Amino acid sequence: MVLVLSRSDIEKVLTMKETILVLEQAFRELTSGTAQMPPRASLSIPGEGWLGAMPAYLGGLGSLSTKVVTMHERNASKGLPTVRATIVLNDPATGEALAFMEGSLVTAYRTGALGGLAAKHLSRKGSKVVGIFGAGIQARTQLAALAEVRKLERVKVYDPVSERAGAFADEMGRKTGLAVEVSPSSSDAVLGSDIVVTATTSKVPLFDGGLVAPGTHLNAFGSFRPDQREVDRKTVEESRVIVDSREAALAEAGDLIIPIKEGKISADHIIAELGEVVSGTKIGRRSEAEITLFKSVGLGIQDCAAAWLAYTKAKENGVGTELELG
Ligand SMILES: NC(=O)c1ccc[n+]([C@@H]2O[C@H](COP(=O)([O-])OP(=O)(O)OC[C@H]3O[C@@H](n4cnc5c(N)ncnc54)[C@H](O)[C@@H]3O)[C@@H](O)[C@H]2O)c1
């Protein structure tokens, strides 16, 4: 029997706090060598969008999954989600398909949760003010996760589509109980922020790196193509850079690949993978004054961990629909 989990089933079982914890385990596994994750296979659909296939295995957790994810930037203007996904979970012992689940919400949770995990290990403990670029679904879960790991007081959101920024401020202010304001300009979202999050569909840098104050932590989550970036060279040069995976970042993160190609930094500018910081084998932040930058392109192990959590909790709570595939 396959357990089918819809979006509303996922909503019933996943919590941000638990997703952060299970991701912490996944990133430890990536560093200790019990995780397997080939580079994602992807293709571009001319004039339309992008599709990626992301298999992953976490030996410690006992989770085996494959996500199929699409990204269609023009969907936002049609009122449709930009990122869509489905996830299949298989039994590592027999190969049997255990679950088939709606993956867009799982993606948003695991992406936000990674931002929370990175901020827990890399941002200053006293971080209170967050500046967010982008008012989409990923930005929402990024904020929800930051609120789990830091005592936030004030949030600023910048999006060139002002109605989206306004809707984000209303909804997230209500959900988090925090003061969420719309920033009138991109620079306003950076100035005075302890943590800056980028979760946009922009292909070019969002702000001048000269605006980033000492001690800031940046979570850069939007771009995942070698010729696109959200943060400029100055930001990268001045930051202690940590990535989700060196291999994936050097293949997909234009934020780092472009300055490397220009000869301004080398690949050694990446000081660690987050799993190394979480496991204590590499040091993340070394001082209150340092700028830290976490760049994520998104890894299959994140889906593998979050899908395992959703499936386990759904089984425990009788959520979902069992289907006989024959
Ligand atoms: N790192 C990961 O694991 C991961 C996972 C999922 C999605 N993503 C990426 O995150 C990004 C956001 O995804 P989403 O699902 O929230 O999309 P979305 O379309 O819902 O939201 C993106 C928002 O970015 C805004 N934006 C565009 N240019 C901007 C700019 N210059 N300044 C500020 N805001 C700007 C858009 O107006 C839109 O509101 C996408 O690029 C997606 O590919 C990354």
- Containing 49, the helix (H) or strand (E) segment is strand 49-58
Task: Tell me the β-bridge partners of 49.
Answer: 45
Alpha-carbon distance 269 to 239, whole Å?
9
The band of 182, judged by pLDDT with boundaries at 50, 70 and 90, is: very high
Residue 193 has pLDDT above 90, yes or no: yes
**Nearest Cα residue to 325 out of 93, 97, 72:** 97
Residues of the chain with pLDDT > 90, as a percent, come to: 99
Which backbone phi and psi does 60 adopt, to 5 degrees? -65, -45
Which residues are within 8 A (CB) of 18 and not within 5 positions of it... i.e. 6 or more apart?
309, 313
Q: Do domains 2-107+301-323 and 115-298 have the same CATH topology?
A: no
Residue pair 107/83 in contact (Cβ under 8 Å)? The answer is yes
Question: What residue has token string 């969907």?
Answer: 75
Residue 190 has pLDDT above 90, yes or no: yes
User: Which residue among the candidates 12, 17, 67, 264 is catalytic per the annotation?
Assistant: 67
* Rounded distance from Cα 165 to ligand 1 centre (Å): 12
Instruction: Give me the architecture of the 115-298 domain, per CATH.
Output: 3-Layer(aba) Sandwich (3.40)
Q: Count CB-CB contacts under 10 A for residue 38.
A: 12
- State the pLDDT at residue 319: 98
Alpha-carbon distance 130 to 132, whole Å?
6
Q: Tell me the H-state helices in the chain.
A: 7-13, 16-32, 104-122, 137-149, 162-176, 186-190, 233-238, 246-252, 254-261, 274-279, 300-317
Torsion of CA 99, 29, 216, 190, to 10 degrees: -20
* Rounded distance from Cα 222 to ligand 1 centre (Å): 5
Residue-wise pLDDT for 195-219, tens only, equals 999 999 999 999 999 999 999 999 9
Residue pair 278/28 in contact (Cβ under 8 Å)? The answer is yes
The band of 326, judged by pLDDT with boundaries at 50, 70 and 90, is: confident
What mean pLDDT do residues 281-289 have? 98
Catalytic-residue membership of 78:
no
Residue-wise pLDDT for 84-102, tens only, equals 999 999 999 999 999 999 9
Q: Tell me 244's DSSP state.
A: S
Residue 183 has pLDDT above 90, yes or no: yes
- The structure's pTM equals 0.97
Alpha-carbon distance 115 to 244, whole Å?
10
Residue 131 has pLDDT above 90, yes or no: yes
- State the pLDDT at residue 278: 98
Alpha-carbon distance 23 to 31, whole Å?
13
Rounded to the nearest integer, the mean pLDDT of the chain is 97
Atom of ligand 1 nearest to the CA of 298: 3
- State the pLDDT at residue 246: 98
How crowded is the C-beta side of 194, counted as CA atoms within 13 Å? 18
* Rounded distance from Cα 275 to ligand 1 centre (Å): 24
Alpha-carbon distance 139 to 112, whole Å?
8
Q: Which of 187, 200, 230 has the most ligand 1 atoms within 8 A of CB, as the residue to mutate?
A: 200
* Domains of the chain, residue spans: 2-107+301-323, 115-298
Fold of 2-107+301-323: ornithine cyclodeaminase, domain 1 (3.30.1780)
Residue pair 5/105 in contact (Cβ under 8 Å)? The answer is no
Interhelix angle 104-122/300-317, rounded to 10 degrees, is 110
Residue-wise pLDDT for 41-61, tens only, equals 999 999 999 999 999 999 999
**Nearest Cα residue to 302 out of 112, 110, 118:** 110
List ligand 1's pocket residues with C-beta within 6 A.
71, 76, 82-83, 107, 111, 133-139, 158-161, 164, 199-202, 206, 221-222, 224, 296-298
- State the pLDDT at residue 200: 98
- State the pLDDT at residue 23: 98
Residue-wise pLDDT for 133-161, tens only, equals 999 999 999 999 999 999 999 999 999 99
Alpha-carbon distance 202 to 216, whole Å?
21
